[in-house]
Amino acid sequence: MHGFSQRWVRMVIQCIEIAHASVVVNGESAGFFPLNKGLRQGDPMSPILLVLVANVLSHLCAKAEQGGWIGGLLCVRGSNPVTIIQYANDTLP
C-alpha cells in the first residue's frame, strides 16, 4: 500500500478497530463497549491518517492528469495547470 509494509498497515487498522469506550453513570462505570464506526473525535490518529490519505489523493490526481483522464485549471499562461487544491481540513478536486 503505497510504500507501507503490511505489518504497519495492520497496526494502524488495529488502532482504529480495537477502540473501546466506557460511560460513567451516577459516578460509576457502566462497563466498556466496542466503538464500531470510524475514528473518534479527537483521536490522535486523525491528523496522521489525514496526511496519508491527502498524499495518496494528490498522487492519484497527478496520475489522472498525466493519463489524460482529467485536466487542470490554467491560472496563469505558461504555468502548470492546477488539478487539486488541499487545505488543512478540505480538498477540492
Give 23 or 81, the one with higher predicted confidence.
Answer: 23
| 91: pLDDT strictly greater than 70 | no
Tens of pLDDT along 48-74?
A: 777 888 888 888 888 888 888 888 778
Three-state DSSP string of 56-78: HHHHHHHHHHHCCCCCCECCCCC
Give yes or no for residue 1 having a pLDDT over 60: no
Residue 83, C-alpha cell as written in the block: 488539478
CA 81 – CA 71 distance, rounded (Å): 8
For the entire predicted model, the pTM comes to 0.53
Summarised one tens digit per residue, pLDDT across range 5-42 is: 889 888 888 877 777 788 888 888 888 888 777 677 77
